[in-house]
Amino acid sequence: MNDRSWQEHDLSLTRGGPFYLTLIRLHLMRPDLYFVRRRAILFVLITWFPLLLLSALQGLAFGGALRIPFLDDFPVSVRFFLALPLLIVAESVVDSRVALVVRYLTQSGLVQENDYPEYESAVRQISRMCNSRLAEGLIAGIVILSAAFPNKLEFSGAISTWQFTVSPLGAMRTAAGWWYVFVSLPLFQFLFYRWCWRYFIWCWFLWRISRLDLQLIPTHPDLAAGLGCLGVAQTKFWIIIFAISSVFSSHLAEEILFGGASLAEYKVMFLIYILFIFVIFLGPLLVFTPKLFEAKKKGLLDYGALVNRYTRSFHRRWIKRKAHEVLEEEVLVESADIQLLTSLRGSFELVHKMRFAPFDLVATVVPIVASAAIPLAPLALTVFPLEEIIMKFLKIWV
């Protein structure tokens, strides 16, 4: 595959589709995904700032008689002021890594030349899926339907919030509430569901690649027969995980602070959530486990046989020789036989340490777990005030 044909079949998870083309026409994006900061700020101004402005104009932004004024409804601010910009920044973060990985698969020789047609077919299929008008149309349809039938607040209709004001005549949605239902929330949902679709495409691509006759090298230093780059690429989805966890954490905090729940009630939910993150973001890499298992098994047999033959030869040459035939010690040390024996031993140890999945604890698992857990840490403040945490820390270290 020459460089020109490679460029024709490059893969991008974020470039393509009606939404992408619309942003380019509006000069909010370039084909190289530039203007990320501009888009992030613009979407915050479209989603969060009008809610603040409309709430302030109606006196619903701060305390008063409201149970939940706008600025106290931190799940809304987290969703639009933090998670939404992260979904936008993720476009360039993920796309750059995916492009490098896809190039590596061919340039490293993992994909053999006789599999190039099948590989190019997979890349073209994934590109068509990314450019699918039907997919984004369905996503937009789901978002529009959810806006047409908005859910009530989680809390009782007997209390007033920045979204609803309650009077003897009943509950009435505020101007900010209407903007939230028809503009802010649909835009966030569209970007989130669009990422869900793109992530599904990436998982499908991994599955297609796992079906190829990959040239796996069991002695590769990444301990994954050369597939370790896939685990590194998967960690780039940390920004999506962080956004999801931030929204999840903010809603739990809301239930604790305003709904009367306690943090201890969510212990099982936390474990289930972390397990869910593991399954969603590490599970797709397990499609390569059968091939890695076979590569390790074959590598142990092949290198084991090679080491056995050479050590026997080495033993006959240097150990079983007659006394007058034994060379001086320094000659033995300088011999290439010793160096080769050491190299064979190192190669066999690499095969023995080879993993059955293309990821490891430090480079892949820890970043993913941290991205899921860090946004949950502020929930501890619902149990222990920040001042108390700081004082206990100072008592330990000061």
What is the average per-residue pLDDT within 166-193? 88
Tokens standing for 99?
């492009």
CB 373 within 8 A of CB 245: yes
Measured CA to CA, the distance from residue 370 to residue 311 in angstroms comes to 46
HEC profile of 245-297: HHHHHHHHHHHHHHCCCCHHHHHHHHHHHHHHHHHHHHHHHHHHHHHHHHHHH
Q: Is the pLDDT of residue 161 over 70?
A: yes
Are the C-beta atoms of 222 and 85 separated by less than 8 Å? no
Range from 168-177, 284-293, 386-395 carrying the lowest mean pLDDT: 386-395
Banded pLDDT at 389 (limits 50, 70, 90): low
Which 3 state secondary structure label does DSSP give 392? helix
**What pLDDT score was predicted for residue 9?**
46
Interval 71-115: pLDDT, tens: 888 899 999 999 999 999 999 889 888 888 888 888 888 998 888
